[in-house]
Amino acid sequence: MNKARHLLKRPLFLILCLLGVTLLACGPFLTGGLWHGSDLGYHLRRIENIAMGLAAGQFPVRIQSDWVNGCGYAVGVFYGDVLLYAPALLRLAGVPVSAAYDAYLFGITLCTAAAGYYAGRRLGGGRCACAAGAVLYTLSAYRLCDVTDRAALGEYTALAFLPLVAAGFWRTLRPDRARLPGWALLVLGLSGVLQSHLLSFEMTVLLLALAALLCARQVFSRAAFGRLAGAAGVFCALNAGFLLPLLDYYLTGKFAINQPGGVEPIQANGAALGQLLGLPYTLASGQQAELVQGMALTPGPALLLGALAAAGGAAYALARRRDRRAAACLALAAAGAGCLALSGNFFPWDALYALGGAAQRLVGSLQFPWRFLGPACLFLALAVGAGLQLANPRLRAGAAAALCLVAAVAAAGQLRAYTATAAPESYTYGTEEPFWQMGCGHYLPAENGPTDLNALPAGPVWADGITLTAYEKSGTTITFTASNDSEVEAWVRLPLLWYRGYTARGADGSAPAVTCGENNLVTVTLAPGQSGSFTVRFTEPWPWRAAEALTALTALALAVWLARRRQ
């Protein structure tokens, strides 16, 4: 055991450990191919469209062109995608989209393991305990389900930043002597979650609010509250380039996502208790089999058994004497159990939904209660790490190795079962893989009522009196030559979904009005006798550009400040 503890102190061994767990977690995706997942086509299309937008000179790519019959879709406004620019750049370099996705998955998985280890160390854990916690978190059954069956790129990316949020929040309340202060770690973690998955960010903020209430005495001390307020300000400035366009559209526009009836009750979508515990279960009345059956909606045996043992050991230690480490272990295990309860179909989500108003929209937006399994896995992994810290030093390495072995065997079995269902496929372009069309329904414009996807035209449509002689479409930019030979205003309706920001400019410098027309399509109105060549494109409003500049300046200032702090 002394040799094992000495080995764990070597940085090279820890690096190889994190790299090994990453290779195991990504095993099926190291072949250059992809196995189908529920959301795979959606995210491949996002990557491909970012690459197409960059190639066309757009930055950032707000309206992605190759959606809904080429009519454009504002997924870049509503869904954070800054990290997807990395695989998009690989696409521009000629790398097939399947290989670009695999590279992205490998990088995010490695970051997940590293973040889990780093967060544990910042919370006061030893190398052995933190390494075990990181392995168990990275190989948790639900995270692997996100990667495989669900292909939930946004959610599994957010899980890579969640450990930084936990460590950052605690170290903002109780600072340590690390080079990266707690508030900066909190900002980094929250920014990563926000830019990865908006629903995960909503859940994270909700859990932080609950944690703040439980730690009200520390939170509302003058020093800690000042640090939290400062972190909130830096977070807003760092993410202004995403937050301002998102809030601008959501609060002032009409889209499917913010219209009455845009959300539904979610309790029936929760996981059964047996499923959460990895036991046999039966579907409850109202549960939709396709949403829960066959998916690993559980933390997995290593986390459940490890957290149970840790909680038992902590309770025994507390019964003998007051011990802050034991109390922290019990608190983390309780937080994990609470998130497991939130994930179940037995939690009264429908009662909260029935309150109406903001509560209804917040609850309905979560869609699936079992999303709380992500935070549950983190809390349980931290509880296991805290429990190992309480263990006898002579037994700690052996217990950690045993838990990691259980996690590895369970993960290997889960991945093997996943790959046995289908053969891997390779895609050169992100538009080759079929995807669920309604997956892009949330951000459809609804200025003139719901958008009818079946009635979208393949080309321009114009009113009587219009003579159209030339037409060219490249992405979300359209150039056409037309004349209005009538004595009244006449319109040209283009195959572009209308999002505020589209403008038209004539070759002679004129600026015809651009409005939302029938079926929420971009409509250009020409005055009587007006003629010429006109170009329609999406142009970001100047406040958006100002917000992007603020984001860039904040990121640069933070980078310079951290570089100087390390000197």
**Side chain identity, residue 309:** A
For residue 389, CA distances in Å to 134, 345, 392 come to 14, 34, 8
- Mean pLDDT for 51-73 is 92
Local structure of 531: helix, strand or coil:
strand
For residue 357, CA distances in Å to 101, 348, 362, 368, 446 come to 39, 17, 9, 19, 20
Cα separation, 66 vs 49, in Å, equals 6
State what percent of residues in the chain have pLDDT above 70. 92
Cα separation, 520 vs 416, in Å, equals 46
- What is the predicted pLDDT for the residue at 329? 94
Structure tokens at 538: 């999406």
* Tens-place pLDDT, residues 32-51: 678 888 888 889 999 999 99
- What is the predicted pLDDT for the residue at 438? 42
- What is the predicted pLDDT for the residue at 153? 95
Q: pLDDT-derived band of residue 257, with 50, 70 and 90 as boundaries?
A: confident
3-state helix, strand, coil in the chain (%, to 5): 60, 10, 30
* Tens-place pLDDT, residues 118-176: 999 999 888 889 999 999 999 999 999 999 989 999 999 999 999 999 999 999 999 98
Q: pLDDT-derived band of residue 27, with 50, 70 and 90 as boundaries?
A: confident
- Mean pLDDT for 539-551 is 96
Q: pLDDT-derived band of residue 422, with 50, 70 and 90 as boundaries?
A: low
- Mean pLDDT for 536-561 is 96
- Mean pLDDT for 454-466 is 91
Query: Taking a C-beta distance cutoff of 8 angstroms, is the pair 5, 394 a contact?
Result: no
- What is the predicted pLDDT for the residue at 364? 83
- What is the predicted pLDDT for the residue at 437? 47
* Tens-place pLDDT, residues 305-328: 999 999 999 998 888 887 888 999
- The residue among 338 and 355 whose pLDDT is bigger is 338
- Mean pLDDT for 272-300 is 74
Taking the alpha carbons of 357, 366, 74, 549 in that order, is the dihedral positive or negative? positive
Which residues lie closer than 8 Å to 525 by C-beta, 6 or more apart?
489, 490, 491, 512, 513, 514, 515
Length of the chain (residues): 567
Query: Taking a C-beta distance cutoff of 8 angstroms, is the pair 380, 299 a contact?
Result: yes
- Mean pLDDT for 334-360 is 90
484 forms beta bridges with 466
Q: pLDDT-derived band of residue 291, with 50, 70 and 90 as boundaries?
A: low
User: What's the whole-number average pLDDT of the chain?
Assistant: 90
Cα separation, 272 vs 116, in Å, equals 28
Nearest to 438 by CA among 114, 7, 6, 38: 38
Strands 531-538 and 502-506: antiparallel
- Mean pLDDT for 506-510 is 92
Query: Taking a C-beta distance cutoff of 8 angstroms, is the pair 173, 124 a contact?
Result: no
State what percent of residues in the chain have pLDDT above 90. 68
For 93-111, what is the HEC assignment? CCCCHHHHHHHHHHHHHHH
**Side chain identity, residue 49:** N
- Mean pLDDT for 531-535 is 95
- What is the predicted pLDDT for the residue at 436? 46
Residue 259, by phi and psi: left (phi above 0), alpha (psi -120 to 50) or beta? beta
Cα separation, 455 vs 439, in Å, equals 18
Query: Taking a C-beta distance cutoff of 8 angstroms, is the pair 484, 530 a contact?
Result: yes
Find tokens 């995706």 and name the residue.
29
Cα separation, 135 vs 22, in Å, equals 9
Local structure of 567: helix, strand or coil:
coil
Taking the alpha carbons of 19, 24, 26, 29 in that order, is the dihedral positive or negative? positive
Taking the alpha carbons of 460, 466, 467, 471 in that order, is the dihedral positive or negative? negative
Residue 440 has pLDDT above 60, yes or no: no
Residue 285 has pLDDT above 60, yes or no: no
